[in-house]
Structure 1
């Protein structure tokens, strides 16, 4: 059995790489020869081509594209090349990514015949972008792929609702999948509003939770210390003050990895770890402070005390992903939306009942494994496309 995986494996983002790692490692543990299809369209990080720039009605779309182009160029010129090299090494050595970059959907057809199964997910691959909208490739709507069993695992829309103009395409492409799952309950709501029966989609955990074990990368030499590990994305608002107060309470060093899109000064000691070193820093911290979904998810998986900081203002709608995760884990009380010192003190001093949390995760992990095992079994049957339910 050979499987092709479609996700954001190409991003210089720690969470994106670890969700990709999680699904591939789990499938390999089931004896599946799983590999990433090196689909890396230019619109995701580089903006893509301008769309009829003479049309005033498209000014917002083209302004976004131009901003992304200049941001990408700035990172290439002024970005940390050593950090990028560490991400590239992780993709090559750990994720096993090989082959040329495939930028267009039409480049994929020759690759499809080698796969028995195709997976799309996780990450925000179903989040319509301003510059592109929905990408059919991330719904596995690909020429030459109809012989393979098509399965989504934990893709996210990245928000609680999408514009109604996408509903027809979402319905058509989602119902074209043999196995349909999403990462958040809000994703089921979006699918239902688009016309997909509610019982057609299953909510499954992020691949980091599915895998549940990262000992192969961490090794056995991680010794917890008093450090505070602060992983901030999108903004340093609120999270900076929460992290500083947390470090004051613990008395340990405050370390924060720099990100490729960072537009703020370092929070405590700025560090530039590769993906493995990033995970090791998280695993040894006394407390993790993060406003990132995967910063929180990996804290939960590794049983590290954490404070989940909500994104403020216009970004608050993105908090639904973390809130859903905390509800599943029974840890809603670990979320904060302000830098209230008394609240932070309570969270630092209150231990987490990891036995109860792990029991809850075991349930959702078992359900996800049953879903995947059923899809693998169906793919092993002859004529599975004709008999797919």
Structure 2
């Protein structure tokens, strides 16, 4: 059995990060491959989620004021953070096939060079310049042997790449055998640095259907009333106001993972939720309000009525997804006048999704030499 090594953000205690890792692994296994997640644990990612961050590193990266707030937050919410870390750790242990060796730095990866038949980077923001400017080329597979098959699957850049980083892109993209990106808005940029075809492919979470996700949902008795589910990464007062209006429209409560001012009066918050809790709460929601790409993706997977409020710095990926599925009317352009709120006719959207899924799987079959 041939073996594929995946490098991505599996170590982030973030729902989208671990669930897209699970999804890509499952797709590769469905192709008859042995899929292994390379246990790369760079400080640039893990320091954001650990209970005891490296203080010197945090000060250097965030400055005194932001670092102090981050450290105080961990002290005040120590018990919740510890529970959340444990829940994500249990998910990885149960559902992800991690490499036997762990790698804390890019140098360790380059030195050991873990061996696979296929090397895959993605999905998620593996090509975000804020990251590779600090880590280097690990998420560009610089540790993979020259004669190996190197693949990017639905790699996301997430933001504008400044001209100073373009030579880095050009140097590293030359080594790839197959390239796909997650956003249409990234295709033109990446194409400048390679003569290979650049595909646009779906986020891995959209490659497996709702039944696959339901098989790992936690349907525990955490909540037995109707509710709208808010997955908000922005925490702007306008989002709180919109959520309250939607809840009033449906005459139901609000469940959110968010904390902070404005959220405290909501009926319930699940700040320690596990990835399987997230799936269960999303699956059972009456309505979904999201400022997250993966919040939007799972609303679509479970065919939920939803609104998406574009993230102020990462909104293009949400816009691209909704446009490709013919769901652009669910994108909130004005908080004061969000537009329609009725149920969505998912028949057309699901047909569009099936076509995009077929094309994405075709890319993987081609790259993995599967007939």
Q: Is the 8 A contact 1:303 1:354 kept in 2?
A: yes
Question: Post-superposition shift, 1:351?
Answer: 2.1
Matched-pair contact (CA < 8 Å) for 1:291–1:310: yes
Structure 2 residue 49 is matched with structure 1 residue 44? no
Map Cα deviations across residues 116-147 of structure 1 (whole Å, 9 max, x no partner): 111100111111117935631101111x5334
Paired position in structure 1 for 2:33: 32
Aligned mates of 1:195, 1:32 — CA distance in 2:
30
Residue in 2 that maps onto 1:352: 344
1:210 correspondence with 2:202: no
Asked whether the equivalents of residues 92 and 98 of structure 1 are also in contact (C-alpha less than 8 Å), the reply is: no
1-structure distance, mates of 2:235, 2:188: 28
CA distance in 2, matches of 1:134, 1:41: 8
Change (3 A) 1:270 1:31: same
Deviates more, 1:324-333 or 1:66-75: 66-75
Distance apart, 1:264 and its partner CA = 4.4
**Where in structure 1 are there 5+ consecutive unaligned residues?**
54-60, 381-389
> Alpha-carbon deviation of 1:190?
1.9
**How far has the Cα of 1:49 moved from its partner?**
9.2
Task: Determine helix, strand or coil for the equivalent of 1:177.
Answer: coil
**Counterpart residue number, 1:57:** none
- The residue that corresponds to 1:236 in the other structure is 236
Give me the whole-angstrom Cα distance separating, in 1, the residues matched to 2:236 and 2:13.
19
Is 1:177 the counterpart of 2:176? The answer is yes
The TM-score with structure 1 as length reference comes to 0.83
In structure 2, what is the Cα distance between the partners aligned to 1:310 and 1:375?
Answer: 32
CA contact under 8 A between 1:4 and 1:35: conserved in structure 2?
Answer: yes
Higher mean alpha-carbon deviation, 316-325 vs 125-134, is at: 125-134
Distance 1:2 1:67 in 2: 46
Give the Cα–Cα distance (whole angstroms) in 2 for the partners of residues 324 and 131 of structure 1: 24
Q: Are the aligned partners of 1:126 and 1:134 in contact in 2 as well (CA < 8 Å)?
A: no
Deviation at 1:71, TM superposition (A): 6.0
CA contact (8 A) 1:209 1:365 kept: yes
Unaligned runs of 5+ in 2: none
The alpha-carbon distance between structure 1 residues 65 and 31, as it changes in their structure 2 partners (threshold 3 A), is: farther
Give the conservation status (yes or no) of the 8 Å contact 2:240–2:263: no
Distance 1:233 1:49 in 2: 24
In structure 1, the residue matched to 2:193 is: 195
Distance 1:226 1:130 in 2: 40
Shift of the alpha carbon at 1:241?
1.2
Q: Distance in 2 between matches of 1:134 and 1:282?
A: 34
Q: Distance in 2 between matches of 1:151 and 1:19?
A: 16
Aligned length: 356
- Label 1:281 to 1:85 Cα distance change in 2 as closer, same or farther (>3 A): same
1:383 aligned residue? none
Task: Work out the CA distance in 2 between the residues paired with 1:45 and 1:75.
Answer: 16
Q: TM-score, normalised by structure 2?
A: 0.86
Query: Is the 2:219–2:277 Cα contact (8 Å) retained in structure 1?
Result: no
The verdict on how the C-alpha distance between 1:134 and 1:102 changes in structure 2, with shifts beyond 3 A counting, is: closer
On the 8 A contact 1:136/1:173 being kept in 2, the answer is yes
Out of 329, 338, 355, the residue aligned to residue 333 of structure 1 is 329
